[in-house]
């Protein structure tokens, strides 16, 4: 085996090591789906507000209309803290709330392929559950 082939094989083995659900979820939430782009409020300079990750309230406009990012922290009153794992997975994949209403654009977003496997969906939920609970009332 050549040195290059051995190096590529070793690199592949390192990359292929199992991730925990939370490690995988953090990668999907922060690098692939970038959930915070819509669900994390910003300060006047446009920077994410520390401690308010995924708590909603960020407003922006897209071709489909005016968007206000929802709270996807585990807060039981204003977030998704009462949603079951199945309801969260369904929302990620289909853009529907537990009551059947449409979440609306941009959900389900074009980044929904990360939720094609149960492991990806579960790990995404675990990452949201790890975010600080934040009571954020979003105007309807």
pLDDT single digits (tens) 81-110: 899 888 888 888 888 999 999 988 888 766
**Beta-bridge partners for 68:** 59
The residue among 90, 114, 107, 92 whose CA lies nearest residue 32 is 114
Task: Give the model confidence (pLDDT) of 66-87 as tens digits.
Answer: 989 999 888 999 999 899 888 8
Torsion, Cα of 74, 79, 82, 86 (10° steps): -80
| Alpha carbons 65 and 91: distance in angstroms, whole number | 20
> For the chain, how far is it from start to end, CA to CA, in angstroms?
63
CB 114 within 8 A of CB 124: yes
| Alpha carbons 124 and 24: distance in angstroms, whole number | 8
Task: Give the model confidence (pLDDT) of 16-46 as tens digits.
Answer: 456 787 788 888 888 888 888 999 999 999 9
| Alpha carbons 64 and 138: distance in angstroms, whole number | 19
Please say whether the dihedral angle defined by the alpha carbons of residues 52, 99, 92 and 112, taken in this order, is positive or negative. Answer: negative
> What are the start-end ranges of the H helices in 41-117?
85-94
The pairing of strands 65-68 and 59-62 is antiparallel
What is the structure's pLDDT at 82?
A: 92
Please say whether the dihedral angle defined by the alpha carbons of residues 127, 132, 133 and 134, taken in this order, is positive or negative. Answer: negative
């Amino acid at each position: 085996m050549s040195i290059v082939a051995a190096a590529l094989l070793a690199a592949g083995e390192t990359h292929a090591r199992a991730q925990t659900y939370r490690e995988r979820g953090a990668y999907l939430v922060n690098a692939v789906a970038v959930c915070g782009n819509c669900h994390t409020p910003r300060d006047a300079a446009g920077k994410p507000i520390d401690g308010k990750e995924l708590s909603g309230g960020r407003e922006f406009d897209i071709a489909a209309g005016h968007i206000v990012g929802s709270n996807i922290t585990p807060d039981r009153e204003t977030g998704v803290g009462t949603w079951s794992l199945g309801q969260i997975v369904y929302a990620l994949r289909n853009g529907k709330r537990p009551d059947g209403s449409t979440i609306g654009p941009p959900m389900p977003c074009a980044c929904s392929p990360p939720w094609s496997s149960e492991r990806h969906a579960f790990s995404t939920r675990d990452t949201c559950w790890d975010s600080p609970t934040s009571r954020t009332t979003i105007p309807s």
